[in-house]
Chain A
């Protein structure tokens, strides 16, 4: 299987959308393109499994290298391991759901779907790149679509939020840029490369790692809402259009987590060991602070945005712990959070489209008029608070077990603090769902609202399928991810 297909399908879709300006045709084109991509990613999963069984010793499969700017030794070096396959599948699920949810976008429909597909193109490119330069290229490629999606189709103080998001993410990118260039010039003149496989094979001096690792980790950390650089998340998510929020939480924040793991921890394990404790502290703060901040929110989108800060804290906590189980848990949490938050945002979008409000206090009893949407919201909520059977439980449990493997008191305390946030999560999730969906219905304003349309149901089914597949049968994901995490853990070696 040639991985470039994963780039060409969205590219072709985007170009066709650009040529076709009629709204209805554009919608179908986007849906067709993203469905083909979903199909391709599922094929990739089976292809990868088969190839990995046949050849378990090679960490990266389907590798191809296309020279690009040979002077700088840059190449479009593509290849996947289990972690990237998981991320690619997550992206494909979220994109299909996002396209379906945005069916009714009327304003500049062509440009809207073009930007959605362009954003997904950036994500696919990012996940298949094994070259730091092209990885960075794709990471930045996704920034402008986000900015425009929020700024043009958003709601509330959208220009402010779009600006804040773009500037903070570019701030993160600037740190990544410095780290990449510093890593590049750390080698003598003839041997400079951006290629991650070659860089991973080298012993980068410890003092160099200690300079570059924080830049790289913090840069990607901004994308995944590391405390204290999480402030773009609430504003960005709440102002974005529904599909924009889904993409931001489901895909864009995962770019950061994946980057922290792949580009920072894997390439510079000594740096990771030196700064691991600081990462854990920041992650624990994000987890507990995010959870309590969510309690105070009155707007459904803000509730979900702050809970994303808390949930992404688990990703960083898992990476900071540096054990195999914890890192596996971090990957699980990325997939789980991506699916679940996307579903939550989709539901919020559906509710908002009908009630024209997102304030919890103004709603109530909606279950009576929209039973389907209520069910979906329950599924998203229960997954979010970590109920067994849904994806959230699997992911969080794995992170906790992984954290407990570190025996020093510091790691124990951090794990316990993180565990406690689950109680808070249960409180805010149940409270939000209870107040919006149950209780008496304000028949005068909400009495004649319709339940979900076909495309909204489809979107929900796609995401719920992912959540259940992961929650009920986590072993297939574990099998998929294991070689990738092994590789990273082997590079980390003995923990202090």
Chain B
């Protein structure tokens, strides 16, 4: 009993927070400001709880796994949600239904935690749905904006579609192997046609969730239409969680099909990086811009996954941690600026003079996303490419490296606009709430320090 509670501690903590919020809502309710502070404190507490005292274990007949790496991955996600509550405090405080918003977001987080620990396809499917459906609801939270409902609609349709793929794949796989347990499946794969077909369906479902090209078409519209905290949530936390599970499923369950999925990953990584990059170049809306850049980033994650080694696992986990800081910082700045009516790139002109703090944080975040030192993104990208290069496929790495240059072009474009273009219509100095500022400083510190402190990487690596 004690082991089970210990193994599920991060899920339990999130559940407890959800219940606390629901009880508050049932009672007299609470002012948004107080409620938000409470949530921030509780979420901050949940990070170390997820982080420490994780022991390897298998529970409920293989349904639920626990382990150090899984705990660390969950802690990254909780940390990211905490940062979201800090960075988007402005928007959250103005929401009429803050409790519902937080409860839905945390339910999705709960789903992701369970998804990461799942050791069984059924468990995985249920957790995935729990992680997805609440997000569709909160995507609709800008009730006055039509685009918000459109985003929610697109999101729910595309995820229903991908769930269909996934379920079909699972049932075929069940038919072919007679089990839904990860370990049993992996030992009974023999590359028959039916299994390959099942694999392709499951792969496609993952590709939908990760917005790997050609399954990416929902991404930009949903990102643009959703409220900005939801966009940040989708592009960072949801992507990160699915990437963890994807890596796990490919490396553990479908290990014997490596010769098949390696080339699938190579092809899709190249297409994803190129498409994401080429579309990002043309974007004027900053949310759409970040959406396409996040597609390109997923392409780089695929390079790391394709390495299929302990290096790859560590590199992907590390990269997601860095990506949390970098992308959330970018979204945080974008949120502050969209509050003063600057949502397009042209509105960022001359930002360094009116809002130097925001401009420098944004620049740092973009350098990190582009993979330029001293930002931690440099290390993240290096390790991903290094893990991919270990297969000896140099041309693949050359293509990835060339894509880093393309991505640098558009990241620098934003920096150029902020630092070098004269402001025709200068932005007023934005008021930055203390908690937002705190969040941005945490993100910046994360970007700068994660790279230098190699013990963070060593810690992740020690789980293997």
Name A's B-contacting residues (CB within 8 A): 68-72, 108, 133, 137-138, 140-141, 143-144, 147-148, 151-152, 158-159, 162-163, 166-167, 170-171, 174-175, 177-178, 181-182, 184-185, 189, 211
Verify A170–B421 contact, CB threshold 8 A: no
Verify B383–A72 contact, CB threshold 8 A: yes
B374 within 8 A of A: yes
Which residue of the partner chain B has the closest CB to A181?
B389
Verify A181–B409 contact, CB threshold 8 A: no
Residues of A within 8 A of B420 (CB): 151-152, 158-159, 162
A68 to B373, alpha carbons, bound, how many Å?
15
Verify A170–B397 contact, CB threshold 8 A: no
B458 within 8 A of A: yes
Verify B405–A69 contact, CB threshold 8 A: no
Verify A162–B373 contact, CB threshold 8 A: no
20 CB < 8 A contacts A-B: A69-B379, A71-B461, A72-B311, A151-B420, A152-B419, A152-B420, A159-B416, A162-B420, A163-B416, A166-B412, A167-B405, A167-B409, A167-B412, A170-B404, A170-B405, A174-B405, A178-B394, A178-B397, A178-B398, A184-B386
0 or 1 for each of B355-394: is its CB under 8 Å from A? (1 = yes) = 0000000000001000011100011001101100110101
A182 to B388, alpha carbons, bound, how many Å?
11
Verify B389–A184 contact, CB threshold 8 A: yes
Verify A69–B419 contact, CB threshold 8 A: no
Residues of B within 8 A of A167 (CB): 405, 408-409, 412
B interface secondary structure, majority: helix
A133 to B374, alpha carbons, bound, how many Å?
13
Verify B419–A177 contact, CB threshold 8 A: no
Residues of A within 8 A of B352 (CB): 108, 152
Residues of B within 8 A of A137 (CB): 373, 378
A162 to B418, alpha carbons, bound, how many Å?
14
B314 within 8 A of A: yes
Which residue, of B372, B385, B401, B454, has the highest number of chain A Cβ atoms within 10 A? B401
B402 within 8 A of A: yes
A144 to B402, alpha carbons, bound, how many Å?
18
B463 to nearest A CB, angstroms?
A: 12
A178 to B394, alpha carbons, bound, how many Å?
8
A199 to nearest B CB, angstroms?
A: 16
A137 to B379, alpha carbons, bound, how many Å?
9
Residues of A within 8 A of B390 (CB): 185, 189
- Our pick among A175, A177, A189 for the contact of B385 (Cβ within 8 Å) is A177
- Assuming the contacts A163-B416, A167-B408, asked whether A178 and B373 have C-beta atoms less than 8 A apart, the reply is no
Verify A162–B405 contact, CB threshold 8 A: no
Verify A70–B458 contact, CB threshold 8 A: yes
A108 to B359, alpha carbons, bound, how many Å?
14
A158 to B394, alpha carbons, bound, how many Å?
36
- Our pick among B386, B394, B402 for the contact of A211 (Cβ within 8 Å) is B394
- Our pick among B383, B394, B402 for the contact of A174 (Cβ within 8 Å) is B402
Residues of A within 8 A of B402 (CB): 174
B319 to nearest A CB, angstroms?
A: 14
A322 to B386, alpha carbons, bound, how many Å?
32
Which residue of the partner chain A has the closest CB to B404?
A174
Residues of B within 8 A of A181 (CB): 385-386, 389, 397
B72 to nearest A CB, angstroms?
A: 15
A192 to B415, alpha carbons, bound, how many Å?
37
B457 within 8 A of A: yes
- Our pick among B314, B389, B419 for the contact of A71 (Cβ within 8 Å) is B314
Verify B416–A151 contact, CB threshold 8 A: yes
B364 to nearest A CB, angstroms?
A: 10
Verify B421–A159 contact, CB threshold 8 A: yes
Verify B408–A170 contact, CB threshold 8 A: yes
0 or 1 for each of B431-464: is its CB under 8 Å from A? (1 = yes) = 0000000000000000000000010011001000
B84 to nearest A CB, angstroms?
A: 28
- Our pick among B372, B386, B416, B458 for the contact of A144 (Cβ within 8 Å) is B372
0 or 1 for each of B167-185: is its CB under 8 Å from A? (1 = yes) = 0000000000000000000
Residues of B within 8 A of A151 (CB): 415-416, 419-420
A1 to nearest B CB, angstroms?
A: 24
Which residue of the partner chain B has the closest CB to A122?
B373
Residues of B within 8 A of A133 (CB): 382
Which residue of the partner chain B has the closest CB to A168?
B405
8 tightest A-B contacts by CB? A174-B401, A181-B389, A151-B420, A69-B454, A159-B420, A141-B373, A71-B461, A68-B454
B352 to nearest A CB, angstroms?
A: 8
A175 to B397, alpha carbons, bound, how many Å?
10
Residues of B within 8 A of A158 (CB): 420
Residues of B within 8 A of A182 (CB): 389, 394, 397
Residues of B within 8 A of A71 (CB): 311, 314, 457-458, 461
Which residue of the partner chain B has the closest CB to A137?
B373
B309 to nearest A CB, angstroms?
A: 9
A14 to B22, alpha carbons, bound, how many Å?
50
A137 to B372, alpha carbons, bound, how many Å?
9
With A71-B314, A182-B389, A189-B390 given, name 8 new contacts (CB 8 A). Answer: A71-B311, A71-B457, A72-B386, A137-B373, A140-B373, A151-B415, A167-B412, A185-B389
B62 to nearest A CB, angstroms?
A: 30
A159 to B418, alpha carbons, bound, how many Å?
11
Residues of A within 8 A of B419 (CB): 148, 151-152
A110 to nearest B CB, angstroms?
A: 10
- Our pick among A141, A171, A211 for the contact of B374 (Cβ within 8 Å) is A141
Which residue of the partner chain A has the closest CB to B386?
A181
Which residue, of A70, A144, A182, A189, has the highest number of chain B Cβ atoms within 10 A? A144
A174 to B397, alpha carbons, bound, how many Å?
10
Which residue, of A71, A148, A167, A185, has the highest number of chain B Cβ atoms within 10 A? A71
A140 to B311, alpha carbons, bound, how many Å?
23
A171 to B392, alpha carbons, bound, how many Å?
21
Residues of B within 8 A of A152 (CB): 352, 419-420
Which residue of the partner chain A has the closest CB to B416?
A159
Verify B401–A166 contact, CB threshold 8 A: no
Verify B314–A171 contact, CB threshold 8 A: no
A133 to B382, alpha carbons, bound, how many Å?
9
Which residue of the partner chain B has the closest CB to A143?
B372
A189 to B391, alpha carbons, bound, how many Å?
11
Residues of A within 8 A of B454 (CB): 68-70
Residues of A within 8 A of B392 (CB): 185
A162 to B419, alpha carbons, bound, how many Å?
12
Residues of B within 8 A of A184 (CB): 386, 389
A133 to B413, alpha carbons, bound, how many Å?
27
Residues of B within 8 A of A159 (CB): 416, 420-421
- Assuming the contacts A71-B314, A137-B378, asked whether A147 and B412 have C-beta atoms less than 8 A apart, the reply is yes
A391 to nearest B CB, angstroms?
A: 33
B321 to nearest A CB, angstroms?
A: 15
Which residue of the partner chain A has the closest CB to B460?
A71
Which residue of the partner chain B has the closest CB to A158?
B420
A166 to B410, alpha carbons, bound, how many Å?
12
Residues of B within 8 A of A140 (CB): 372-373, 378
A184 to B391, alpha carbons, bound, how many Å?
12
A137 to B314, alpha carbons, bound, how many Å?
20
Residues of A within 8 A of B374 (CB): 141
Which residue of the partner chain B has the closest CB to A140?
B373
A302 to nearest B CB, angstroms?
A: 21
A138 to B163, alpha carbons, bound, how many Å?
46
B292 to nearest A CB, angstroms?
A: 19
B355 to nearest A CB, angstroms?
A: 14
Which residue of the partner chain A has the closest CB to B421?
A159
Q: Could you tell me which residues of chain B, from 31 to 80, have a CB within 8 Å of some CB in chain A?
A: none
Residues of A within 8 A of B383 (CB): 72
Q: Could you tell me which residues of chain B, from 290 to 327, have a CB within 8 Å of some CB in chain A?
A: 311, 314
- Our pick among A148, A177, A189 for the contact of B401 (Cβ within 8 Å) is A177
A166 to B379, alpha carbons, bound, how many Å?
19
A144 to B457, alpha carbons, bound, how many Å?
25
